[in-house]
Copies of this chain bind each other. A is one copy, B any other.
């Protein structure tokens, strides 16, 4: 089958292509760009090479419909909400890596994103692609809304605790840290090497647009959940997210019980790996791969659980999970084209 990548000149788009060009069920990848159509992809990304070249095409819905079976959007806010409806109405499956369809409540979107959201009809039809917890819905999805990078790490880390009511509903604090590639390829002072290197910054304190996305899922799992505290830090590295999650245990828990729960919760999920007692993952241990690695601690002094969840923000936090969802939508093995080992070191 043929697929289209819209927004191929960004980091999300090029990462989709890294996996999809070798995907066992994908025949051709076509790449589209609103700003650089007519250019070769290697003009933007010399690493793709001239021997294996892609021409960037103008975004033309009719042309895409006639050529492709599925479309991935790796675009800035506002693009997929405009273009996806006509695609899905013509039977094309859409996987959207942007935030356009993630929030069901339009007022919430507009409050946090400070812009207009998509049409209600399509917000309702969009399936939230946290693969490990939404597989049944994803199977029938026509419009797949791929989770944000921070929500993926956070929600996979919190799911067993929240679904099983093990922690105080108002006690969750997520201290999240990300590599810089999450900010995309657009140059700015915030991502200027000399400003970021040998530096650690906090940003969007209590104001990150991923907060409502996390809370929406938590409330779906447990209607008593209260607002969370969520902070994001910029770490001087390119890839990787770590969510360090703190919550107060509701009842007596033990580390053995928690590890059992996590291992059971994810025993059928290839891409979630639970560390042994006393061990915690680092971001490099999932570098370039679709894994989410999780470590857990319970502190008897304070009664708090600490969960450490790491992903590669461009893979499990973006392109990898998008393909994982695509696989589920198509009825293929969830891991198709994604079983790459992390690159280490």
Contact = CB atoms under 8 A, between A and B. Distances in A.
Chain A interface extent, by class:
35 or more
B198 A301 contact: no
B197 A197 contact: yes
A36 interface: no
A282 B238 CA distance: 16
B279 A46 contact: yes
Nearest to A226: B302
B282 A201 contact: yes
B306 A229 contact: yes
Given A187-B192, A229-B246, A345-B195, A200 B237 contact: yes
B46 A275 contact: yes
Number of this chain's copies in the assembly equals 4
Interface in A45-91: 45-51
Contact of A197 (B195, B205, B237, B280): B237
A22 interface: yes
27 contacts: A22-B339, A46-B281, A47-B342, A173-B304, A185-B345, A187-B189, A193-B196, A193-B236, A193-B238, A194-B345, A197-B238, A197-B345, A199-B237, A199-B282, A200-B235, A200-B283, A201-B283, A202-B242, A203-B280, A205-B280, A205-B295, A206-B297, A206-B299, A229-B306, A235-B235, A235-B236, A343-B343
